[in-house]
Amino acid sequence: MSAFQDARTLPRDTVLTPDLAIVGGGPAGIALALAMAQAGRSILLLESGAESFEAPTQKLYEGGESGVPYIALDGGRLRFLGGSTNHWGGWCRPLDEIDFERRDTLPHSGWPFARSEIEPYFARAQALVEAGPWIYDESGTTVSEKGPVLQLGTGGVYTTWFQFSKTLGGVLPTHFGERYREDLKRAPGLSPLLNANVTGIRLSRDGGHVDRLDIATLSGNRLTVKPRCTVLAAGAIENARLLLASNDVMKAGVGNGNDLVGRFFADHPIPRNVATLVVFDGKLAPIYSNSQTVAEGAVMRAALSPRQEFLRVQGLAGSLTTVENPVKLDAFGTATVVTTAQALGVEASSARAFSLGCGMEMAPDPERRITLGAERDALGMPVSNLHMTVSDDDFAHFRQTLAELGRQLLAAKAGMIHLTYRQRHEWMAGMDWGNHHLGTTRMSADPKRGVVDADSKVHGIANLYIAGSSVFPTYGSSNPTLNLVALTLRLADRLKKVLA
Amino acid sequence: MKRRNVLAGLAIAAAGLATGAAWKFRLFGKHYPRTPYDDLLGQITDREPAILFGRAAAKSLPDTASLAADLRRDGRTLAIRAAAEPVAGRVREVDGWLVPQSVAQYAALAALATPPAAP
């Protein structure tokens, strides 16, 4: 087993000239590297970290924050080979059609293409994240073997399905660096380079293309990369930071002629214990509260999602609600359940209650953004500052979906729900985050509305592309990894033509 | 007729009489002071939990007489209304609980019409 090449050991001022430089060895960077390596081109995969966690490298992620409380910038992501797949939960679900649509009720929403554009890449993305056969909402009888689907009256909410990434031996989930280490070493034309931090994107004098990348190591070494094409795949915070900090030719930063780089940052708010679900007969299939292996070997879990038509008609953002833990009702709750069940003529002496959690979609907000701070990291790079927001509408949208779920449970005489939060401070007190960094280099066909075009190329720069969820202009509520890998495989097909 | 058959018949008859008396004179059920709304409140299966829930529901509903008038005007039973209302989108939120509108109304009436227990 050979070792990866280490930037610290290369002669100072070495100049590397690959066809393609990929900045970042997370799921997007690794998926792109493996896909491009099959095209007979020289690929340089630049990873800031090593093969495992090292504190000095992780410290490069530190930054400042303002606005609503959010996870520390060095806390929600990992800076070594495999990136944040080294701590992801493995939750997978494709984005829905509506996530790509421009909605009048959701300002700044819409992708420059429909979901059908990335559908051809889902199968390969599913294989890379090792989430088993593609089942999801096409589950049919497959998951019904794990218990009955929760009965809901006709309406806006339905049971949808997550699948989970898994590695051989049942270890959850796939850590891209560990899983694809040998593939990266074996791939012809592919040269992963560890401990290689990109500290600057240097443009040609006219600003029309990337001339070179500055590389630095924490040990003090300096290298230069002069690629034909560059793809930033360093995550939504670092992609924005690197573009903004590379301001020697374009004073506002690379690709930032319209002041969009860093704006529209998003994550999935995960408020805990948002509601209590009561099932009158006490029978809730375990697949609602825990992942289960189904007949085809896929690991799945049920969630409750608003239907796309419901979102369109009601003008709401998406959400995915999951059953969390059994809970005990207080006297008032018990009285409410007894009274309601008796009025409905339903036996509820075996009723059980469960707390609900969720992942919410945020509305795009240009003021939720990454900027550069005054402080500098160990490599001399300005640190990131995040201004975080959550709007009252984000909570109101989700509450409306929960209320619809409650109505449908009553209509089916299957159960009822209690909504835990009403006030903003109540939502915030129970808040967690998905660590799904999205949106800072958003995609749009219009340079005034997006940093990259529909091919993920930075507007106005001939040979600079961006991969990963930083290009998501509307976020959906699905976990991003599967989707960003699919989008990256689409980018690989574009790049194969560009580099042919 | 055998004597044991006669005894069995008498036992069944006695049990029937006892059950009838218990029902007629409400020997074993909970007793509530009579109210002008017993035609409505009689539809509530178990009034104790309804009163507990109803105290919260009553905060956002009209006074007792108006509430009773509304329920009588509707004319449908609690059971029919409770089943139909969620389908038609008529649910009410009471301290975070989503319930059919009529459940909140009947429970509120029970709470309003029942004097608080003596301390």
Q: Do B46 and A331 touch (CB under 8 A)?
A: no
The pLDDT > 70 percentage for chain A reads 98
Residue A269 pLDDT grade (very low, low, confident, very high; cuts 50, 70, 90): very high
Pairwise CB contact (< 8 Å): A336 & B100: no
Put simply, whether A313 touches B (Cβ < 8 Å) is no
Q: Is B87's CB within 8 Å of A334's CB?
A: no
For A178-227, give the DSSP string: HHTHHHHHHSTTEEEEET-EEEEEEEPTTSSSEEEEEEE-TTS-EEEE--
Where is A45: in which H helix or E strand? strand A43-46
Sheet holding A5-6, edge to edge: A5-6, A190-194, A43-46, A20-23, A229-232, A464-466
Q: Do A343 and B46 touch (CB under 8 A)?
A: no
From residue A361, alpha-carbon distances to A9, A51, A472, A476, B30 in Å are 44, 33, 12, 6, 50
Domain ranges of chain B: 1-31, 33-113
The string of pLDDT tens digits covering residues A384-428 is 999 999 999 999 999 999 999 999 999 999 999 999 999 999 999
Chain B residue numbers touching A339 (CB-CB < 8 A): 44, 46, 49-50, 53-54, 99, 103, 107
A343 contacts in chain B (CB < 8 Å): 44-45, 78-79, 82, 100, 102-103, 106
- Average pLDDT of chain A is 95
Contact A340 B82 (CB under 8 A): yes
- Asked if the model's pLDDT at residue A366 lies above 90, the reply is yes
Whether the CB of A498 is below 8 Å from some CB of chain B: the reply is no
Give yes or no for residue B13 having a pLDDT over 90.
no
Answer left, alpha or beta for residue B68, where phi above 0 means left and psi between -120 and 50 means alpha: alpha
- Residue A253: the pLDDT is 98
- Structure tokens, A366: 């240009």
% pLDDT > 90, chain A: 93
CA dist B87 and A346 (Å) reads: 16
Predicted confidence band at B12 (pLDDT cuts at 50, 70, 90)?
A: confident
From chain B, the residues in CB contact with A413 under 8 A are 83
pLDDT at A66 over 70: yes
- pTM beyond 0.90: the answer is yes
Adjacent-strand bridge partners of A471: none
What local confidence, expressed as pLDDT, does residue B9 receive? 76
- For residues B101 and B81, what is the distance between their CA atoms, to the nearest angstrom? 8
Q: Is residue A482 within a helix (H) or strand (E), and if so which, with residue range? A: helix A480-498
* pLDDT tens profile A150-201: 999 999 999 999 999 985 566 679 999 999 999 999 999 999 999 999 999 9
Identify whether the C-beta of residue A267 lies closer than 8 Å to the C-beta of residue A438: yes
Question: Quick one: tokens of A190?
Answer: 């592919």
Average confidence (pLDDT) over A249-265: 97
Query: Is A473's pLDDT higher than 90?
Result: yes
User: How distant is the Cα of A69 from the closest Cα of chain B, in angstroms?
Assistant: 26
Domains belonging to chain A, first-starting first, are: 5-498 (3.50.50.60)
| DSSP-derived 3-state class of residue A370 | strand
- Count of A–B CB contacts within 8 Å? 87
What is the C-alpha to C-alpha distance for residues A488 and A474, in angstroms, rounded to an integer? 17
Runs of H (alpha helix) within chain B: 3-24, 38-41, 47-57, 64-74, 78-87, 101-113
Q: If you average pLDDT over residues B52-71, what whole number do you get?
A: 94
pLDDT of residue B85 exceeding 70: yes
